[in-house]
């Protein structure tokens, strides 16, 4: 039978996207089964599935510019991150902050400060350009809240170290956006004298996110959960997440920070329901599956050899900086030292979408260094996403 007489035709892009979505979700079922047998984190397995997709597309099929799901992948990743950020913001209740707030601040700033210095100064001393060293130092601040929170949730750990990690990752990306914006401003001023424009953009990205989170979170805190007794409905939860993701993208502000602010407001001001959008926890896992697989699939395998030395240096310096920062933070904690492991900084190594977004912004600002920055960040992100959950489990033990 000839090809023209076959009863089917090549699938359209929409049909192919639907099939791929089903395949990605099916891979999560296999990852769950394999994780149960091998005790490997399912997050790491899903990232490896994404790397396998990238290998098939780029190495076997020769489609170096192809990306899974085309334009659909970015919104799915954005929604997943906003869900995670909103839930993490819900962890920042006043009662909890009274007990662990100062500790979160001490350990977080210690890990970030030491980590930035280790990466920035280390790369500069190794001979890499100042723009590359400073950009990667700022990018190193970002932590993947999805990987950390999901691993902590899987462990069922409720000790101080687990609560501390959840609190730190809830604010780490806020520190990351601030550090990156200030770094770009200083580099712009140093190289071209245009730092004021970058500083204004960073201020809007942070201030606009706080404003958006407040404008969405305040009415949500009063309105949600009133249609029926008990917890808010899934429709309300999904509506809030989509509004936060869409408006943040439209206004060019940090969606993560806006979602954290909204989540914290709902958690602290909603007296008529017990938890901040419990329904989101019931629906977030499929979106997290898309996020982890698509993060792994975004790697450009053809550019890895161009940035091998930079990637290895960044990996080692970031790990060393996080470890030493954690040691310093635990020592500064004083009265809580006995309850915290000295290597808690290693649990803050996962890095994903936020770091990639920062790398893209750095590439737009400094195109002459953009290629090597993107290659190094994407390659290291895959490594951190695979090793990060293992380190979180190690610290929790």
Indicate whether 272 pLDDT > 80: no
Most distant pair of Cα atoms in the chain: their distance: 79
Calculate what percentage of the chain has a pLDDT beyond 70.
78
Note if the pTM is more than 0.85: no
Q: What is the 3-state secondary structure (H, E, C) of 19-68?
A: HHHHHHHHHHHHHHHHHHHHCCCHHHHHHHHHHHHHHHHHHHCCCCCCCC
Residue 322 domain-assigned (yes or no):
yes
Across the range 297-321, mean pLDDT stands at 82
For the ranges 54-58, 211-215, 307-311, the one whose mean pLDDT is highest: 211-215
pLDDT score at 122: 92
Residue 19 domain-assigned (yes or no):
no
Q: How long, in residues, is the chain?
A: 397
Task: Give residue for tokens 């809830």.
Answer: 170
pLDDT score at 59: 74
Residue 18 domain-assigned (yes or no):
no
Range of lowest pLDDT (47-51, 150-154, 302-306): 302-306
pLDDT score at 121: 92
Q: What whole-number distance in Å separates Cα of residue 284 and Cα of residue 278? A: 10
Q: What whole-number distance in Å separates Cα of residue 302 and Cα of residue 64? A: 8
Indicate whether 239 pLDDT > 80: yes
Residue 10 domain-assigned (yes or no):
no
Residue 7 domain-assigned (yes or no):
no
Report which of 340, 333, 318 is spatially closest to residue 163, judged by C-alpha positions. 340
Indicate whether 252 pLDDT > 60: yes
Residue 196 maps to which CATH number?
A: 1.20.1530.20
Q: What whole-number distance in Å separates Cα of residue 306 and Cα of residue 182? A: 28
Total domains, the chain: 1
Q: What whole-number distance in Å separates Cα of residue 344 and Cα of residue 164? A: 10
Domain span at residue 358? 40-58+73-396
Range of lowest pLDDT (4-18, 215-229, 231-245): 4-18
Residue 113 domain-assigned (yes or no):
yes
pLDDT score at 313: 92
Residue 209 domain-assigned (yes or no):
yes
Across the range 325-349, mean pLDDT stands at 78
In the structure, what pLDDT confidence band is assigned to residue 173 with cuts at 50, 70 and 90? low
Mean model confidence pLDDT for the chain: 77
pLDDT score at 215: 93
Residue 324 structure tokens: 């030493």
pLDDT score at 84: 78
Q: What is the pLDDT of residues 41-80, one digit of tens each?
A: 677 778 778 878 878 877 777 666 656 666 677 788 788 8
Residue 26 domain-assigned (yes or no):
no
């Amino acid at each position: 039978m000839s090809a023209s007489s076959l009863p089917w035709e090549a699938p359209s892009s929409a049909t192919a996207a639907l099939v791929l979505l089903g395949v990605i979700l099916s891979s999560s079922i296999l990852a769950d089964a394999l994780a149960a047998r091998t005790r490997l984190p399912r997050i790491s397995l899903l990232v490896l599935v994404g790397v396998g997709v990238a290998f098939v597309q780029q190495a076997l099929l020769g489609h170096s510019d192809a990306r899974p799901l085309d334009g659909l992948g970015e919104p799915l990743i954005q929604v997943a991150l906003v869900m995670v950020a909103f839930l993490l913001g819900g962890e920042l209740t006043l009662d909890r902050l009274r007990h662990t707030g100062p500790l979160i601040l001490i350990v977080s700033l210690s890990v970030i400060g030491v980590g930035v210095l280790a990466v920035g100064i280390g790369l500069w001393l190794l001979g890499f350009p100042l723009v590359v060293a400073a950009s990667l130092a700022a990018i190193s601040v970002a932590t993947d809240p999805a990987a950390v929170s999901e691993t902590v949730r899987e462990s069922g750990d409720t000790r101080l170290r687990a609560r501390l990690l959840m609190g730190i990752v809830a604010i780490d990306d806020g520190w990351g956006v601030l550090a990156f914006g200030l770094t770009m401003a200083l580099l712009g001023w140093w190289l071209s004298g245009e730092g004021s424009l970058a500083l204004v953009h960073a201020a809007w990205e942070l201030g606009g996110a706080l404003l958006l989170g407040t404008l969405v979170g305040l009415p949500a805190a009063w309105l949600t959960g009133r249609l029926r007794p008990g917890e808010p409905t899934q429709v309300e939860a999904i509506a809030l997440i989509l509004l936060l993701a869409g408006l943040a993208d439209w206004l060019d502000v940090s969606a993560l920070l806006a979602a954290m602010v909204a989540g914290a407001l709902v958690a602290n001001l909603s007296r008529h329901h017990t938890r901040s959008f419990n329904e989101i926890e019931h629906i977030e896992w499929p979106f997290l599956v898309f996020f982890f697989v698509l993060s792994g699939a975004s790697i450009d395998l053809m550019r890895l050899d161009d940035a091998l030395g930079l990637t290895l240096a960044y990996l080692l310096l970031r790990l060393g900086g996080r470890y030493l920062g954690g040691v310093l933070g635990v020592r500064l904690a004083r009265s809580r030292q006995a309850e915290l492991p000295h290597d808690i900084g290693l649990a803050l190594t996962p890095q994903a979408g936020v770091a990639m977004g920062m790398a893209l912004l750095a590439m737009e600002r400094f195109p002459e260094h953009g290629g090597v920055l993107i290659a190094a960040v994407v390659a290291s992100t895959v490594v951190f996403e695979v090793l990060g959950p293992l380190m979180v489990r190690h610290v929790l033990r």
